[in-house]
A and B are shown apart, each in its own frame.
Chain A
């Protein structure tokens, strides 16, 4: 299995001299199964340079797993060149929207409206296949098993576990650990806590033992209180989850958009000091645009 990070930034692209090393593109991760099947996790602006790398493979078949439909995870989709070329097969997977009651098939139609984009959906030449997913249903892509799980974000967000040939990866998408909405002295506190604990256990069980986890680490613990409810995690919350789930390697991503390369390394190093590695701990890394990991 191989992964390559094409976009690691959260919320909005951040080109410029202070983000050259870690990169300014929004979320996009290329996953290659051992038989070279291409799975793409999210279609942030990082999918554009990924698309450039695929031109010699046409006609191709690929599978885009969308964690959720916020802009920074779909912004590159209209620029995904394989969509424009006949005989390519592009499969798009994601959650349906409970508010509009529409499936993932409206994603491109919404983006490619005449007023907002020069090309309309009907003009795309590739064969596009949509797959609306639900939490309790695993799907197969080639020989891989994909397990979607509901995370916590201001819109439905699936984390995806991918298992293939004994290797595994989990991507959170955007995720903020749930917090108890009640105060400790409210009578509802303990009941709410127990529902939260059940959900957290379900998450830990789903992730259990993956080789690689890629997780939303937007904030430091100092920054978090003023961002509570925005739907993002901290270095510490992701490290804790990785430890509980006995993950092999944790890649911290969704870098906060105002964070420079230097600031990013500083906050990561502070997180490492707070969580010194024990023999059984996962290995911790910062996700970086262009970084490839194979195992």
Chain B
């Protein structure tokens, strides 16, 4: 797998199309001269591919902005509505190979996992640091498993083997990926994020989301990821749910199931995400 990460590979990834529903919605919004900026931000924020590509572009040397852009709202303030709208449109209209649904990897279920992790991370972020930008937590949650999409698209056979190995051995997917491909999705996503010059804290969050860390943003994503899996909001093919680390349990003062109990209305996160996917 390491040998695959060549210039050609990065170029292939750049051609990954957005999810059909968000592409359709972006085209609809772009055709409306009075489109509501809130709607545009929402549709971009709900598609990991459009989000990642937009962040990549606005943080690239091409713009060399004086400030690092960490979220779609941030991009809107710096570049203006029309430029963001047209950037999104140029991403949405990429004609490329369709997303692959593998036997064990369903893109719809994957998106549901990414979106619920994002919205839960956003909601619980202040528990780890009251000053944490909740928009950054949303994006980190949305993109934490981006590497899986890349595997599904460009190494479907090996990725399927890794998923099967995880199910069989009841071991975390990133370990099976490592065994089968010599690389796991966290590293894959981080390499892309690095190559695309995404904000540093986002790269770190993607790379280490299966490891322990003290960083508040990282903690929010790790916890949101376990909650999403525990409540079976979507499915990102990892059968293992990790218990809280002592650090996280120390901050929250309870374990995973008690924490889930303490949060009201978590099912609304799933229904909101489903509603969005089914637009």
Q: Does A153 contact B (CB under 8 A)?
A: yes
Tell whether A191 pairs with B66 under 8 Å between CB atoms, given A150-B78, A156-B83, A181-B41. no
Tell whether, in the assembled complex, residue B81 and residue A154 are in contact, meaning their CB atoms are under 8 Å apart: yes
Q: Does B178 contact A (CB under 8 A)?
A: no
Q: Does A231 contact B (CB under 8 A)?
A: yes
Q: Does A152 contact B (CB under 8 A)?
A: yes
With A and B bound together, what is the CA distance between A135 and B67 in angstroms? Answer: 10
Number of A-B contacts (CB under 8 A): 72
Tell whether, in the assembled complex, residue B77 and residue A136 are in contact, meaning their CB atoms are under 8 Å apart: no
Tell whether, in the assembled complex, residue B37 and residue A181 are in contact, meaning their CB atoms are under 8 Å apart: yes
Tell whether, in the assembled complex, residue A195 and residue B74 are in contact, meaning their CB atoms are under 8 Å apart: yes
Tell whether A182 pairs with B80 under 8 Å between CB atoms, given A98-B87, A191-B133. no
In this complex, what residue of B is CB-closest to A150? B78
Q: Does A198 contact B (CB under 8 A)?
A: yes
Q: Does B82 contact A (CB under 8 A)?
A: yes
Q: Does A31 contact B (CB under 8 A)?
A: no
Q: Does A137 contact B (CB under 8 A)?
A: yes
Q: Does B57 contact A (CB under 8 A)?
A: yes
CB distance from B154 to the nearest CB of A (A): 24
CB distance from B256 to the nearest CB of A (A): 26
Interface residues of A in 188-245 (CB under 8 A from B): 188, 191-192, 195-196, 198-199, 202, 229, 231
In this complex, what residue of A is CB-closest to B81? A229
Q: Does A111 contact B (CB under 8 A)?
A: no
Interface residues of B in 122-181 (CB under 8 A from A): 133-135
A135 contact from B36, B63, B83, Cβ within 8 A: B63
In this complex, what residue of A is CB-closest to B57? A98
Tell whether A181 pairs with B82 under 8 Å between CB atoms, given A98-B57, A150-B65, A195-B74. no
Tell whether A195 pairs with B81 under 8 Å between CB atoms, given A98-B87, A134-B64, A150-B65. no
With A and B bound together, what is the CA distance between A135 and B74 in angstroms? Answer: 16
List B contacts of A178 (CB < 8 A).
Answer: 77
B77 contact from A135, A156, A196, Cβ within 8 A: A196
Q: How large is the interface on A (under 10, 10 to 19, 20 to 34, 35 or more residues)?
A: 20 to 34
Q: How many residues of B contact A (CB 8 A)?
A: 28
Tell whether, in the assembled complex, residue B86 and residue A99 are in contact, meaning their CB atoms are under 8 Å apart: yes
Q: Does B207 contact A (CB under 8 A)?
A: no
B82 contact from A155, A192, A199, Cβ within 8 A: A155
Tell whether, in the assembled complex, residue A156 and residue B79 are in contact, meaning their CB atoms are under 8 Å apart: yes
List A contacts of B62 (CB < 8 A).
Answer: 96, 98, 101, 134
With A and B bound together, what is the CA distance between A150 and B127 in angstroms? Answer: 35
B67 contact from A98, A182, A202, A231, Cβ within 8 A: A202
Tell whether, in the assembled complex, residue B37 and residue A98 are in contact, meaning their CB atoms are under 8 Å apart: no
Q: Does B90 contact A (CB under 8 A)?
A: yes
Bitwise interface map of A from 150 to 168 toward B, beta carbon under 8 Å scored 1, else 0: 1011111000000000000
With A and B bound together, what is the CA distance between A157 and B200 in angstroms? Answer: 27
With A and B bound together, what is the CA distance between A188 and B45 in angstroms? Answer: 13
With A and B bound together, what is the CA distance between A155 and B78 in angstroms? Answer: 11
In this complex, what residue of B is CB-closest to A195? B77
With A and B bound together, what is the CA distance between A275 and B37 in angstroms? Answer: 32
List B contacts of A96 (CB < 8 A).
Answer: 62
Tell whether A99 pairs with B79 under 8 Å between CB atoms, given A135-B63, A136-B66. no
Tell whether, in the assembled complex, residue A134 and residue B87 are in contact, meaning their CB atoms are under 8 Å apart: no
A192 contact from B65, B67, B73, Cβ within 8 A: B73
Q: Chain A CB within 10 Å — which of B66, B73, B87, B133 has the most? A: B66
In this complex, what residue of B is CB-closest to A137? B64
Tell whether, in the assembled complex, residue B73 and residue A155 are in contact, meaning their CB atoms are under 8 Å apart: no
In this complex, what residue of B is CB-closest to A151? B80
Q: Does B4 contact A (CB under 8 A)?
A: no
7 A-B residue pairs with Cβ-Cβ distance under 8 Å, sorted by A, are A98-B63, A98-B87, A153-B82, A154-B82, A155-B82, A181-B41, A191-B133
Residues of A within 8 A of B (CB): 96, 98-99, 101, 134-137, 149-150, 152-156, 178, 181-182, 186, 188, 191-192, 195-196, 198-199, 202, 229, 231
Given contacts A134-B64, A135-B64, A182-B38, 20 further A-B contacts (CB under 8 A): A98-B57, A98-B62, A98-B83, A99-B87, A99-B90, A135-B63, A135-B65, A135-B66, A136-B65, A150-B65, A152-B80, A154-B82, A154-B83, A156-B79, A178-B77, A181-B37, A188-B73, A198-B67, A199-B77, A231-B82
